[in-house]
Each structure stands twice: as structure tokens, then as C-alpha cells.
Amino acid sequence: MKRFLGWIGVVGVLLLAACGPEAVVERPAAEMNLALADLPEGFRQKGQDLSLADILQQINLSESDKGAVKDGSMRTFTATLGLSATAGIRSTEVVAVVLRFDSEGAAQSGASDIATGFGDAMRTIRVTPEVLGTTPLPAPASLGVFSRVQLPEQGAQVYLAVFHKKNVLGLVLVSGPQGEVEGLAVRLAQALEKKIPLPATP
């Protein structure tokens, strides 16, 4: 029996060696995030990119997930693209975030944290996010959430798309006039996914 158990250990070591370390994306987060050229004409960037410390203060992550973030980029863009049919909000705002974690598991956990935190934050102002289903993102990107919040008194809608691709988390938050920004949210989530490369294979 001892000899049998010894062979099991040898086989296990060989399997781990064959699998090797997890391949991760190493590209800087700022290079993967949306830039002004990725948005429709009429947008401008508000302020400068935030530091990683500032990003982590604004993003809802558990302490363990925050410790797994290696790099981050957060940009805000704004434009006046049209008039709300209800004469409410007139501007459209886009927040794009890229977080590079040390592993795919941490990125997946971070996406779950953000989706949960967004729902909790919206419920504090007595609105409930409506889950819209799957945004068409190609594998291996995995959608965390795509949801919409209706703000009828302001004539506005808010869309949140969160996904992870390997060890990178992508987030797009779009707010604007009711009925005018869903397509923009989908297109920007797809554009952000395309900017995140697959890790190099050994």
C-alpha cells in the first residue's frame, strides 16, 4: 500500500509539472483601457487617469481581492449626444475600468464583488438593477453582469457591464438619456474586451 501511495504522489507531481504555472496577461492596464479614440465623436475625457490607490477606494472589492490587484486604469468620458425625451438628463457619461489581477480566479471573484456592490448601492437609493442577460462577448471573456437601472425622474438610464478575461477585469458604466445609451454600453463593452489580449503561451 505504501508503494502504491508513493506512485500516486509521483504521478501528481508529474501532472502539476505538465500543467505549469497559470498563463496571465501582463500588459499594463492603461494600455488595455478604452481611450478617447474608442468612443464616438463628441466625447471628451474628464480629468486624468486615477492612481491604483484611488481606483481601489472607489471600486467595491473585498480586501483579499484588492490585495490581488497588480495594476489598474480608470477613465471617465462625457458628451452631450442628444436631448432626453423627458427633458431630464442631457449628458452621457462613460466610466471605463481595467484591473489586472495576479490570477484568473481573483479576477472572477472581483467581478462578482463589483456586481454585488453595484446592486447593493442601487438598492440604497431604492432602485433595483434589471439584469439584461448576456452581452455578446466572445470566449474566453466571461460576463459577470450586464444590468440596467431606470431613473425615470431624471429621464435617465444607467448600464453596467462587468466581465473578466483571464486575469483581467473589465468594467464599463454608461449613464445618459433614457432610451439612448444601451447600444453604446454594448459596443463599448465589446471594444474593451477586444483591447485585452490573451496571455502569451509558453
Residue 143 near residue 131, CB atoms below 8 Å: no
Percent of the chain topping pLDDT 90: 48
- The verdict on residue 15 lying in a domain is no
Residue 200 near residue 24, CB atoms below 8 Å: no
- 18-32, 50-64, 74-88, 107-121, range with the lowest pLDDT: 74-88
- The verdict on residue 175 lying in a domain is yes
- The verdict on residue 37 lying in a domain is yes
Mean pLDDT within 34-48: 94
Question: Which residue range is the domain that position 141 belongs to?
Answer: 26-195
CB-side neighbour CA atoms (13 Å) of 8: 5
pLDDT score recorded for residue 2: 45
d(CA 59, CA 184): 22
- The verdict on residue 11 lying in a domain is no
Mean pLDDT within 2-13: 42
Q: Give the burial class of 70: count Cβ atoms within 10 A of its Cβ; 0-12 exposed, 13-18 middle, 19 or more buried.
A: middle
Q: Using one digit for the tens of pLDDT, what is the confidence trace for 18-32? A: 445 678 999 999 999
Percent of the chain topping pLDDT 70: 80
pLDDT score recorded for residue 202: 58
- 9-18, 44-53, 67-76, 95-104, range with the lowest pLDDT: 9-18
Kindly tell me if the per-residue pLDDT of 94 is higher than 60: yes
| Domain count for the chain | 1
Residue 95 near residue 173, CB atoms below 8 Å: yes
pLDDT score recorded for residue 116: 86
Kindly tell me if the per-residue pLDDT of 11 is higher than 50: no
CA 131, distance to chain mean position in Å, is: 16
148: nearest Cα among 124, 170, 180, 195:
180
- The verdict on residue 146 lying in a domain is yes
Q: What is the mean pLDDT of the chain?
A: 82
Band of residue 154 on the pLDDT scale cut at 50, 70, 90:
confident
pLDDT score recorded for residue 201: 67
Residue 78 near residue 177, CB atoms below 8 Å: no
At 35, which CATH number?
3.40.1000.70
> Distance of CA 187 to CAs 61, 136, 158, 173, 192, Å?
25, 10, 15, 12, 9
- The verdict on residue 154 lying in a domain is yes
pLDDT score recorded for residue 151: 84
- The verdict on residue 42 lying in a domain is yes
- The verdict on residue 2 lying in a domain is no
